[in-house]
Amino acid sequence: MERIIDMGGQRYRYRNLGALMAQATPLRSGDELAGVAAQNAEARAIAQWALADVPLADFLNEALIPYEDDEVTRLIMDRHDRNAFAPVAHMTVGDFRNWLLSHQADTATLQALAPGLTPEMVAAVSKIMRLQDLILVASKCEVVTRFRNTIGLKGHLSTRLQPNHPTDNPTGIAASILDGLMYGNGDAVIGINPATDNTSAVTTLLKMLDEVIQHYEIPTQSCILTHVTTAIEAIQRGAPTDLVFQSIAGTQAANEGFGINLALLKEGHDAAQSLQRGTVGQNVMYFETGQGSALSANGHHGIDQQTLEARAYAVAREFSPLLVNTVVGFIGPEYLFDGKQIIRAGLEDHFCGKLLGVPMGCDICYTNHAEADQDDMDMLLTLLGTAGCNFIMGIPGSDDIMLNYQTTSFHDALYVRDVLQRSPAPEFQQWLEAMSIMDPQQRLLVGQQLPAAFQQALSP
Amino acid sequence: MTKHITAQPSAKADHASPVTPNPWSRLKHYTDARIGLGRAGHSLPTEAHLTFQLDHARARDAVHQPLDIEALSTLINERQHRAIPLHSAARDRAEYLKRPDLGRRLSDEAIQHLDQYRDTHREDCDIALIIADGLSARAIHDNIAPMLDTLLPRISEQGWKLGPITVVEQGRVAIGDPIGEKLKARMSIIMIGERPGLSSPDSLGIYFTWAPHSGRRDSERNCISNIRPAGQSYAAATDLLIYLMLEAERRQLSGVQLKDDSIVDSQLGDGRQGNLLLPH
């Protein structure tokens, strides 16, 4: 449906809701590359006025990508909960922003609302919000998930320990795991990006992580970030698999580019659940996303990258994941040009995911060809911590020697926990204390000596 | 006044130092990961922080350093090959970074240049060899001479006819497709500066494509990555490339279907070997 707004004696027309959403999106290079961005700053600001006037209910009647063409649209529409939507059903996007910021929208109210919201609604409202709005509203949300520990409770911040090595060398990986554990990291997951998708190699890594977790009785879970089909095969071969990983996107076409569809994700989910390896819960999926992935896979349908990213969370939500990670600065400057764009995107993704009821974490990261540096990452880290982000990455010295990008370090996690009074997952915190890695005030204890249980690592 | 500064901000942690070193720092022997950095409170010690800043500066410089066309042409001529300098459709680095599509296409001048070459050189070739800056000109400057000296003799050994060596500014991997097509080459090899890592600003990548033409998908190429003095050796990269080319000639294709799936279960162990976290 065409939409029209008259502003300052000028008439502005939008071909359809998707075009309006794209023009209202804060500037980013990926939308310019796709040719969907507003022509100039004024056009963008006017599109935001027009978007604020759109009733939320319109998103249920006007699919951005046709229902017949796209299984993600079908998932969003078919799963929409009209009863949960009722409290905001009469609102426009602009009203919805006001209501979200109001004291009426508290934690319990937002949790009850989540099944009534679609990705397009939350993406729309995010486009007319400042960073402080995104932070304030997200900080009111609470999405808690469980496997061998409890992630996402208010006042807690977890980390993925990411011990990547360019050749999957077991000693090199073990050295990075030790480093991370001694810095109190690893409660979200110990997760490796393997150098190969080979099922046997993946199985070997799964066994390695399983033995470490069992030997030290660490209340955490492992994951090898390989294609879902490889994980299913590994499970069939008896590999000790905690979490099944997959990169996902917000359109059927982009997911096909990843070699997946909803049926395959369900198969992966069911395979992991059949093992019943969780002790306090059975959230068994780990998803990664990122703005720009749909354009990169040539499956964007003329929709802006932030809206498509929010649609990926509807895919995630369907499979009750333990962790959803927006890998915000990994894709490169053709999608998010600089620190400013990366920071905003990270906060938008976290906000949209949380409102939809998804356990959002963020890989706060950048590549060396983006206009960004450690100062930008410190800003995003501090802001996401304030917003109540469920988890971040932890890697030795911020340097991923396998994927060639920079993400947050073990030290960074301690910084943000200290400055914002956040703790690790409660079960993991108890373990850190029992192992004499941290004291009850969350100060690291490890000095000249390794804790007793770990001394064998340095014995010849 | 001149003061000589030693580049060791906190040379040794002693009793009075606010830095807590990590007793496992000797495990650095097993990985390039930045483990065992120690801590000041919970934060990075000065030395580790400044090391990171210096490495990031080097990686940034590698992205923005221009390709030295003249030196590369000389180097190629010295090896008895013709060098053709070309430019992609991306005018400068800023445009290159924002518009990956332009880095995959030749500029109008470059197309003319190749057409003129073809007017006077009608003979087809087996291999189009392309050198492109990609995201690190430094990777080319540091690695191209030893890489060519290892590879070129192996190519002549196989009896393959090498076309002119093109040197492309602001090029991405897929620019090898229109070049290979214009030169009527049966295969293309592109040597390109990879996205620089913090610990690897000098990493060279090689992409191989059978029957190059515009519109080839990335899944139709094979990649050999991380070629640099501290990474994959020139000899190992050459061995793998020659293997892929022979296989491609036999099967008349390249890409995922040529995937080197040579890992066998017996090489992998059970996950215990080398795992220093388990009792040994």
pLDDT in tens, A182-237: 999 999 999 999 987 788 989 999 999 999 999 999 999 999 999 999 999 999 99
Q: What is the pLDDT of residue A166?
A: 87
- Contacting residues of B for A397, CB less than 8 Å apart: 33-35, 37, 44, 48, 52
Question: Which residue on chain B is closest to A184 by alpha carbon?
Answer: B42
Is residue B110 over pLDDT 90? yes
Mean pLDDT taken over chain A: 96
Determine whether the interchain pair A207/B270 forms a contact, defined as Cβ–Cβ distance below 8 Å.
yes
What is the distance between the alpha carbons of residues A431 and A30, in angstroms, rounded to a whole number? 43
| Set of chain B residues whose Cβ sits within 8 Å of the Cβ of A406 | 56, 198
Looking at residue A426, its pLDDT comes to 98
Q: How confident is the model at residue B15 (pLDDT cuts 50, 70, 90)?
A: low
B54 shares contact with chain A (CB less than 8 Å): no
Q: Is the dihedral of CA A393, A320, A358, A263 positive or negative?
A: positive
- Quick check: A456 and B280 CB within 8 A? yes
Q: What is the pLDDT of residue B279?
A: 87
Q: Give the pLDDT band of residue B230 (cuts 50, 70, 90).
A: confident
Q: Which of A200, A211, A448 sits opposite B263 (nearest CB)?
A: A200
| Residue in chain A nearest B274 by alpha carbon | A171
Q: Residues of A marked as binding?
A: 160-162, 193-194, 246, 288, 296, 363, 402
* Dist CA A166 CA B226 (whole Å): 9
Q: Reduced to 3 DSSP states, what percent helix, strand and coil does chain B have, rounded to the nearest 5?
A: 40, 20, 40
Residue A250 sits in the same domain as residue A290:
yes
Read off the pLDDT band of B264 (50, 70, 90).
Answer: very low
Q: Does B20 touch chain A (CB under 8 A)?
A: yes
Q: In chain B, pLDDT over 70 holds for what percent of residues?
A: 91
Q: Do A97 and A153 fall into the same domain?
A: no
* Nearest CB neighbour to B48, from listed A164, A198, A397: A397
Phi, psi for residue A98 in degrees, rounded to 5: -60, -45
Look at residue A168 and tell me if it is in a domain. yes
CA A138 to chain centre: 13
Q: Nearest residue of B to residue A215 by CA position?
A: B278
User: In angstroms, rounded to a whole number, what is the distance separating the alpha carbons of residues A51 and B104?
Assistant: 36
- Mean pLDDT, chain B, as a whole number? 91
Which residues of B, range 236-255, sit inside 8 Å of A by Cβ? none
Residues of chain A found within 8 Å of residue B23, distances taken between Cβ atoms: 448-450, 458
Of the candidates B200, B201, B274, the beta carbon closest to that of A171 is on: B274
Q: Does B128 touch chain A (CB under 8 A)?
A: no
Give me the interface pTM, i.e. the ipTM.
Answer: 0.95
User: Which among A120, A91, A122, A118 is positioned nearest to A104, based on CA atoms?
Assistant: A91
Q: Report the largest interatomic distance among the alpha carbons of chain A, rounded to a whole angstrom.
A: 80
Question: Averaged over B245-273, what is the pLDDT?
Answer: 73
Question: What does the pLDDT average to over B146-150?
Answer: 98
In this prediction, residues B66-73 reach a mean pLDDT of 97
Where among A116, A139, A162 does a domain terminate? Answer: A139
Query: For residue A111, with 0-12 CB atoms within 10 Å meaning exposed, 13-18 middle and 19 or more buried, which class applies?
Result: middle
Reduce the secondary structure of A240-259 to three states and give it as a string: CCCCEEEECCCCHHHHHHCC
Residue A174 shares a structural domain with residue A43: no
Q: A459 in a domain, yes or no?
A: no
Residue A296 sits in the same domain as residue A420: yes
pLDDT tens per residue, range A162-194:
999 988 899 999 999 999 999 999 999 999 999
pLDDT band at B259 (very low <50, low <70, confident <90, very high): low
Residues of A in contact with B62 (CB under 8 A): 368
Q: Write down the pLDDT at residue A298.
A: 82
Any idea what the CATH number is for the domain that residue A279 is in? 3.20.20.70
**Distances, alpha carbon A84 to alpha carbons A79, A115, A359, B57, B249, in Å:** 11, 6, 19, 51, 61
Among B20, B53, B98, select the one facing A33 at the smallest CB separation.
B98
- For the cut 90, the answer to whether the pLDDT of residue B261 exceeds it is no
pLDDT score for A50: 97
Q: For B60, which residue in chain A has the nearest alpha carbon? A: A368
Which residues in chain B have Cβ-Cβ distances shorter than 8 Å to A173? 31
User: Is residue A406 a contact partner of residue A366, using CB atoms and an 8 Å limit?
Assistant: yes
Instruction: Determine the Cα–Cα distance for residues A195 and A168; give it in Å rounded to an integer.
Output: 6
Please tell me the total number of residues recorded for chain B in this structure. 280
Closest residue to A171, CB basis, from B34, B200, B276: B276
Range from A129-133, A211-215, B276-280 carrying the lowest mean pLDDT: B276-280
| pLDDT, tens digit, 9 for 90 and up, residues A340-359 | 999 999 999 999 999 999 99
Task: Say if A205 falls within a structural domain.
Answer: yes
- Quick one: pLDDT band at residue B262, thresholds 50, 70, 90? very low
Query: Token pair 């005018």 is at which residue?
Result: B91
A186 and A260 share a domain?
Answer: yes
Q: Are residues A129 and A151 in the same domain?
A: no
Q: Which CATH class is domain B83-258?
A: alpha beta
pLDDT for the residue B271: 63
Q: Is the pLDDT of residue B260 over 60?
A: no
The string of pLDDT tens digits covering residues A52-96 is 999 999 999 999 999 999 999 999 999 999 999 999 999 999 999
Any idea what the CATH number is for the domain that residue A102 is in? 1.10.220.70
**Claim to verify: residue A95 and residue A221 sit in the same structural domain:** no
Residue A265 domain-assigned?
yes
Of B35, B62, B203, the CB nearest to A175: B35
Nearest to A307 by CA among A64, A14, A54: A64
Mean pLDDT, residues B233-250 taken together = 94
Burial of A274 (0-12, 13-18, 19+ CB in 10 A): exposed
Write out pLDDT tens, residues A263-313: 999 999 999 999 999 999 999 999 999 999 998 888 899 999 999 999 999
Domain residue ranges of chain B, discontinuous segments joined by +: 83-258
Count of C-beta atoms within a 10 Å radius of residue B127: 21
Average pLDDT on B21-46 reads: 95
Nearest to B36 among A174, A179, A332 (CB): A179
- List chain A residues with CB under 8 Å of B31: 165, 169, 171-173, 175-176, 401
C-alpha distances out from residue A356 to A97, A197, A312, A349, B154, Å: 15, 32, 11, 11, 58
**DSSP classification of residue B255:** S
Structural domain tally of chain A? Answer: 2
State the pLDDT at residue A434: 98
Q: Distance between CA B227 and CA A53 in Å, rounded?
A: 55
Distance from CA of B160 to the nearest CA of A (A): 31
- Quote the DSSP letter at residue A402: T
Last residue within a domain, chosen from A98, A120, A139: A139
Asked if A165's CB is within 8 angstroms of B33's CB, the reply is: yes
State yes or no: pLDDT of A24 exceeds 60: yes
Cβ count within 10 A of residue B125: 18
Q: Say which of A215, A414, A415 has its CB closest to residue B278.
A: A215
Residue that terminates a domain, selected from A80, A105, A139:
A139
- Domain range spanning residue A35? 3-139
The residue among A96, A94, A5 whose CA lies nearest residue A42 is A5
CB pairs under 8 A between A and B: 201
The arithmetic mean of pLDDT across residues A367-395, rounded, is: 98
**Same domain, yes or no: A159 and A133:** no
Domain assignment present for A452: no
Cβ-Cβ contacts under 8 Å, A34 against chain B: none
Which residues in chain A have their CB less than 8 angstroms from residue B59's CB? 368
Does A114 score more than 70 pLDDT?
yes
> Which has the higher per-residue pLDDT, A295 or B187?
B187
Distance, in angstroms, between B45 CA and closest chain A CA? 10
Q: Is the pLDDT of residue B5 over 90?
A: no
Residues of A in contact with B170 (CB under 8 A): none
CA distance B61 to chain A (A): 9
Task: Check whether B125 is labelled as a binding-site residue.
Answer: no
Which among A180, A153, A117, A161 is positioned nearest to A310, based on CA atoms?
A: A117
Confidence bin at B217 (pLDDT 50/70/90): confident
Give the residue numbers of the binding site of A for adenosylcob(III)alamin: 194, 246, 296, 402
Interface of B with A in 158-217 (CB under 8 A): 194-201, 203
Residues A240 and A166 reside in one and the same domain? yes
* pLDDT at B268 (0 to 100): 56
Of A149-163, A371-385, B194-208, the one with minimum mean pLDDT is B194-208
Q: Do A75 and A215 belong to one domain?
A: no
**For range B135-142, the mean pLDDT:** 96
Same domain assignment for residues A54 and A151: no
Contact list, B36 vs chain A (CB under 8 Å): 179
How many Cα atoms occupy the beta-carbon half-sphere of A190 within 13 Å? 29
Residues A290 and A400 in one domain: yes
